[in-house]
């Protein structure tokens, strides 16, 4: 079996050096594990590796449906030709479950980071997605039984004769079992520190993070808060959680729902069509709250929002589930963050209380980092200040906002 490792140019605090895609070929066929983000250069490289594999093109395997792993599916299939898409859920050709066989792979359910997470085992080689990173640890999204399910999944992987690790982020490794053991020990240590903090009387999110996640850099503290919620849920499930403990707010959604139908017959996902559109104005004295964004802490979506006809002016468009919320930029400064005082309040754990500012200065509109934990991202780069052009999309804590400018209509005869 031949494995080609291709890394997308989407580095960040949650993607490490970038998302890893794998082209895996044997005598019977060629497979792609996680096409990655919809970056043209990356998809060109993946398609070229498929073409050069020398084996028949079989299809795509998805470890989970987070945007930085799946947004490139439709674009890749345009380049490679149609093939079946396999995943645990969503609008795919083949729905996979634990123990299934596909090509040279055995499917292992590895929930925790996402409920639909799968790993793929081919002989001694583990394609682990985000369940086992090449370095560091991944956040566990709080849902019933999430942390216990994650630990159980790692324990099941320990029972397999695995050597080579091919993770979703970070470097490949020669000792998969050592990394799995390291992650299990890490989760146990976190629990021990959390239990000790609770025994010492700590009850607030900040105090618990300071005690049990004191080694986490500020940029990853929002992700640590997400995992703290999963740990607290586990203690509650085991009747070990004291009364009066503050639970982190993780927003109205989870990074659990597929972001776009993935059928190979679908067009490339360059437009999200909203069910409804709401236009709001911060100057009316009431903040715009968005709480059902399903992608928390992941790379920006590389596709535009479909915004219907608007009155002339400047706006920010944010997808909130099936709705596109359009916020008028009718103030000189628009505050974006998780604080109650924000003009645009984004209810997601990866968003800082004071995250970003959008500033209108004459004809120029800029976005600025407002001392956030994990930055403002534009075109795959972290920016402190950037001038926005109509159609630009920037990312705040994994949530994408699009700048929309509707000009005044031309005067006939002018």
375: left (phi over 0), alpha (psi -120 to 50) or beta: left
- Phi, psi (rounded to 5 degrees) for 341: -85, -5
Examine the pLDDT at 193 and tell me if it is beyond 80.
yes
Q: Are 122 and 104 in contact (CB under 8 A)?
A: yes
Dihedral sign for Cα atoms in the order 271, 272, 273, 277: negative
Q: 2 to each of 22, 30, 122, 173, how far by Cα in Å? A: 10, 9, 11, 16
- pLDDT band at 289; cut points 50, 70, 90: very low
- Phi, psi (rounded to 5 degrees) for 152: -65, -40
Examine the pLDDT at 405 and tell me if it is beyond 90.
no
Calpha distance 129→263 (Å, rounded): 21
Calpha distance 91→96 (Å, rounded): 12
Q: Tens digits of per-residue pLDDT, 117-126? A: 999 999 999 9
Q: 169 to each of 14, 131, 260, 414, how far by Cα in Å? A: 9, 10, 22, 55
**What's this model's pTM, rounded to 2 decimal places?**
0.64
- pLDDT band at 174; cut points 50, 70, 90: very high
Examine the pLDDT at 248 and tell me if it is beyond 80.
yes
Dihedral sign for Cα atoms in the order 97, 99, 105, 108: positive
- pLDDT band at 263; cut points 50, 70, 90: very low
- pLDDT band at 298; cut points 50, 70, 90: very low
Collapsing DSSP to helix, strand or coil, 382 comes out as: strand
What pLDDT, on a 0 to 100 scale, did the predictor assign at position 320?
Answer: 62
For range 16-22, the mean pLDDT: 94
What pLDDT, on a 0 to 100 scale, did the predictor assign at position 199?
Answer: 96
What pLDDT, on a 0 to 100 scale, did the predictor assign at position 371?
Answer: 75
DSSP 293-350: -S--S-PPP-SEE------SEEEEEEEETTEEEEEE--SSEEEEESSTT-SEEE--TT
Q: Tens digits of per-residue pLDDT, 47-75? A: 999 999 999 999 999 999 888 899 899 99
For range 167-184, the mean pLDDT: 96
Question: pLDDT over 90 for what percent of the chain?
Answer: 50
Q: 282 to each of 285, 328, 331, 414, how far by Cα in Å? A: 6, 7, 8, 34
Q: Tens digits of per-residue pLDDT, 77-124? A: 999 999 999 999 988 999 999 999 999 999 999 999 989 999 999 999
The pair of three-digit structure tokens given for residue 42, joined into one six-digit string:
């990356």
For range 260-265, the mean pLDDT: 29
Per DSSP, which regions of 98-231 are E strands?
Answer: 101-102, 105-109, 118-122, 125-129, 164-167
DSSP 385: E
Collapsing DSSP to helix, strand or coil, 404 comes out as: strand
What pLDDT, on a 0 to 100 scale, did the predictor assign at position 225?
Answer: 87
What pLDDT, on a 0 to 100 scale, did the predictor assign at position 321?
Answer: 57
């Amino acid at each position: 079996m031949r494995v080609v490792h291709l890394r997308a140019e989407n580095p960040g605090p949650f993607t490490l050096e970038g998302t890893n895609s794998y082209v895996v070929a044997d005598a019977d066929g060629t497979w792609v594990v996680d096409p990655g983000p919809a970056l043209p250069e990356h998809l060109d490289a993946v398609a070229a590796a498929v073409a050069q594999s020398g084996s028949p093109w079989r299809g795509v395997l998805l470890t989970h449906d987070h945007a930085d792993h799946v947004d490139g599916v439709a674009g890749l299939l345009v380049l490679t030709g149609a093939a079946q898409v396999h995943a645990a859920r969503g609008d795919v050709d083949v729905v996979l479950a634990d123990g299934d066989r596909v090509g040279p792979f055995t499917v292992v359910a590895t929930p925790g980071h996402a409920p639909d997470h799968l790993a793929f085992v081919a002989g001694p080689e583990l394609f682990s997605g985000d369940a086992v990173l090449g370095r560091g640890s991944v956040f566990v999204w709080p849902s019933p039984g999430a942390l216990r399910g994650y630990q159980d999944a790692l324990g099941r992987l320990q029972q397999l004769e695995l050597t080579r690790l091919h993770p979703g982020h970070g470097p490949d490794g020669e000792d998969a079992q050592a990394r799995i053991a390291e992650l299990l020990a890490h989760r146990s240590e976190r629990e021990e520190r959390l239990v000790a903090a609770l025994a010492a009387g700590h009850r607030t999110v900040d105090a618990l993070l300071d005690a049990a996640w004191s080694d986490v850099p500020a940029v990853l503290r929002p992700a640590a808060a997400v995992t703290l919620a999963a740990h607290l849920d586990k203690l509650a499930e085991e009747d070990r959680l004291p009364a009066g403990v503050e639970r982190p707010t993780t927003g109205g959604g989870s990074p659990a729902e597929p972001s776009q139908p993935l059928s190979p017959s679908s067009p490339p996902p360059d437009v999200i069509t909203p069910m409804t559109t709401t236009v709001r104005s911060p100057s009316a004295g009431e903040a715009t709250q968005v709480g059902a964004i399903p992608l928390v802490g992941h790379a920006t979506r590389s596709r535009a929002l479909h915004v219907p006809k608007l009155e002339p002016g400047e706006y920010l468009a944010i997808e909130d589930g099936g709705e596109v919320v359009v916020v008028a930029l009718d103030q000189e400064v628009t505050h974006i963050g998780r604080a109650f005082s924000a003009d645009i309040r984004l209810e997601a754990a990866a968003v800082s209380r004071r995250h970003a500012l959008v500033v209108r200065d004459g004809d120029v509109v800029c976005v600025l980092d407002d001392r956030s934990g994990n930055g403002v991202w534009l075109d795959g780069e972290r920016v402190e200040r950037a001038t926005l052009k109509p159609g630009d999309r920037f990312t705040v804590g994994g949530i994408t906002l699009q700048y929309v400018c509707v000009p005044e209509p031309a005067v006939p005869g002018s």
